[in-house]
Structure 1
Amino acid sequence: MHSRFEKLLGNTGFSIGLELPLDNDWSSDGQRLARQQQRPFGIPDISRHAELARQADKGGFRALWVRDVPLYDPGFGDAAQVFETFSYLGYLAGITDNILLGTAAVVLPLRQPWLTLKAANSIDELSGGRLLLGVASGDRPIEYPLFGVDFEQRGASFRDSVELLRSQGRERLPAGTRLLPERDQPVPMLVAGLSQQSPAWVGEHMDGWLSYPGTPDEHQRRVSLWREVAGDKPYVSFIHLDLDADPHAPLQRVRFGGRCGRLALIDELQALRAIGVQHIGLHLRRSERDVAEVIAELAEHVLPMFHEVR
């Protein structure tokens, strides 16, 4: 297993991270504030993003996950963290010390592959080797004409970009040229979904899987498929969490996650770990409580249940 994943998963083989943006704009209070500020649905309040990223780093979360949403489409209603992915990762690398920085996931067909390689290597160098490169083929057809890319050919384009990232382009460079900064080994890549590829291809060519959120039963089926094609490579997913202030509040499932107190959350995470999920990124945009307060509670009461003491 890549050493980067050993840091992510630690001695227990399971860990918890956070998905950006660290706001709660999908909560009732968040929507009220958005209306006051005249922000359309899905464009977050990122005024505290640096403070909260530092809190996550100091609190012991293992990874911050950044999405790649080039174009805000009101039909999807999700602008992710607003900032361009690699630019933002460079900023996060400068204000954090230990937390891994993951993309979930970079839409490879919309990006010039050589510049993607240079950007990924640059972030990895600047962060001290903390990048986890999640990649995808994309699912928003409206973006492709704008970028001059054929939506129907995104699977082939994805494969070509993966090959370039894997090989660092060494066989394609003109004689005597180099693409800097260079890495001794490629940044580990995780795939979101199947990205227009077969499970066998994904299992062979990718280092880990970014699976869509789901229930333990849904993950059990996906983990089984992943183990068949990829062996013990890491399986990562996400939960949309609204953490109740009452630690005993039971789990009420909603799409992609649920509302519950920390004891039910611990039970859910233990169930996911038992079936082979190895990392969960928590998405807090539904949180009815202040995000900093939730991060603090998770760091104090939930992370110690799953992370080894350092």
Structure 2
Amino acid sequence: MPADHANAGYRRLFDREGLTFGAGFPLTGANRSTPDPEREIELATHAEEVGFDGLWTRDVPTFWPKFGDAGQTFDTWPWLSHVAAQTDDIALGTSSVVLTLRHPIHVAKSAATIDQLSDGRLVLGVASGDRDPEYPAFDVGREDRGRAFRERYEAIRTLWREEYPELEGEWGSLEGDLDVVPKPTAETIPLLPTGNSRQSDEWIAEHGDGWLFYHLPESTLESYLAGWRERADEKPFAIAVRVELADDPTADPEPLHLGFHAGIEWFRDYFRRLESYGLDHAIIGIQNDDTEAALSTFADEIIDGL
């Protein structure tokens, strides 16, 4: 792992052999309305206590009912600050900040602030966005989002690494008389492009500190991991998967959107296979009504059992 990227969160997720697990907000499953923040924090601290290595929050600036998902509703930066204050060592991740809709100076400053307040626990998944009405709402050209993603990605890196940088892009310019502070705890906060982010696989392998992907069919994931290892060597690969635990621990899988309903025994075998393919981290979206019990069962039967 590159030393300049190795903050505490990155090490917690990726600095050991085998598959690690995170939990994705909203932990209560309320992704169309505002979740109860007190209950979310209770579940977050429970996830940390039972052995999850990461807590991941989503960046969804607006609610588009046709898309059917408002993420965890609360804005990424104040929410992560709140979570950081209520947890101890667990990594804090974004899945993912939509760089095309955010100014790079704001992202650099906000992310470095969270990283400092959490003692280096922040890992940033970053994306180009996928909700068409948001582009005109932010006066961003939808067809330009691939170029805009690259420019803002590289600008954020520079803002963290350099003092009083000189930069110019479609977002604005800096002429060496302004600095952006604070700086991160490491030279740069780890950045994980999400999905394809309108970039080539080669660009992601060269510039990313890892690759964060959506749930993929198992054979597709195995193929992606093989190609990733050829291009990116030991850089980590992570996915998000929705999990609904069946009452019957021996139940066969039934497909969910971006995941499965199945018994705990099937999930144990499933994640063992993904680990054998070389997957480094899985962000679990619990779909059960009793989230706390499901987190405990998952931790006891899978995290402790792999």
**TM-score, with normalisation over the residues of structure 2?**
0.89
The Cα RMSD (Å) is 1.7
Correspondence 1:17 to 2:22 = yes
Shift of 1:24: 3.5
Q: Among 210, 214, 220, which residue is 1:212 paired with? A: 214
* Contact residue 12 and residue 90 of structure 2 kept, 8 A: no
Secondary structure (helix, strand or coil) at the match of 1:148 reads coil
In 1, Cα distance between equivalents of 2:29 and 2:99? 28
Q: Among 78, 94, 104, which residue is 2:85 paired with? A: 94
In 1, Cα distance between equivalents of 2:21 and 2:15? 11
**What is the letter of the counterpart of residue 260 of structure 1?**
A
Correspondence 1:283 to 2:285 = yes
Distance 1:11 1:175, change over 3 A: closer
* Contact residue 35 and residue 73 of structure 2 kept, 8 A: no
Shift of 1:210: 0.7
Correspondence 1:43 to 2:45 = no
* Contact residue 235 and residue 278 of structure 1 kept, 8 A: yes
Q: Specify the alignment match of 2:59 in structure 1.
A: 68
* Contact residue 210 and residue 237 of structure 2 kept, 8 A: yes
Q: Specify the alignment match of 1:56 in structure 2.
A: 47
In 2, Cα distance between equivalents of 1:237 and 1:291? 20
Shift of 1:151: 1.3
Q: Specify the alignment match of 1:7 in structure 2.
A: 12
**What is the letter of the counterpart of residue 303 of structure 2?**
L
Secondary structure (helix, strand or coil) at the match of 2:18 reads coil
Distance 1:175 1:254, change over 3 A: closer
Q: Among 75, 95, 98, which residue is 1:104 paired with? A: 95
Q: Specify the alignment match of 1:29 in structure 2.
A: none
Unaligned 5+ segments in structure 1 are 26-40
Shift of 1:10: 4.6
**Greater CA drift, 46-55 or 114-123:** 46-55
Distance 1:189 1:67, change over 3 A: same
Correspondence 1:146 to 2:137 = yes
In 1, Cα distance between equivalents of 2:109 and 2:266? 43
* Contact residue 10 and residue 122 of structure 2 kept, 8 A: no
> Could you give the per-residue CA deviations for residues 49-103 of structure 1, whole angstroms, max 9, x where no partner exists?
1111111111210111111110100000100100011111111111111110111
* Contact residue 203 and residue 230 of structure 1 kept, 8 A: yes
Over the matched positions of the two proteins, sequence identity in percent amounts to 36
**What is the letter of the counterpart of residue 215 of structure 1?**
P
**What is the letter of the counterpart of residue 202 of structure 2?**
A
Q: Specify the alignment match of 1:33 in structure 2.
A: none
* Contact residue 24 and residue 283 of structure 2 kept, 8 A: yes
In 2, Cα distance between equivalents of 1:94 and 1:188? 21
* Contact residue 106 and residue 134 of structure 1 kept, 8 A: yes
Q: Specify the alignment match of 1:28 in structure 2.
A: none
* Contact residue 18 and residue 281 of structure 1 kept, 8 A: yes
Shift of 1:176: 5.3
Q: Specify the alignment match of 1:186 in structure 2.
A: 188
In 2, Cα distance between equivalents of 1:158 and 1:76? 22
Shift of 1:207: 0.6
Correspondence 1:201 to 2:191 = no
In 2, Cα distance between equivalents of 1:247 and 1:130? 34
Distance 1:239 1:175, change over 3 A: closer
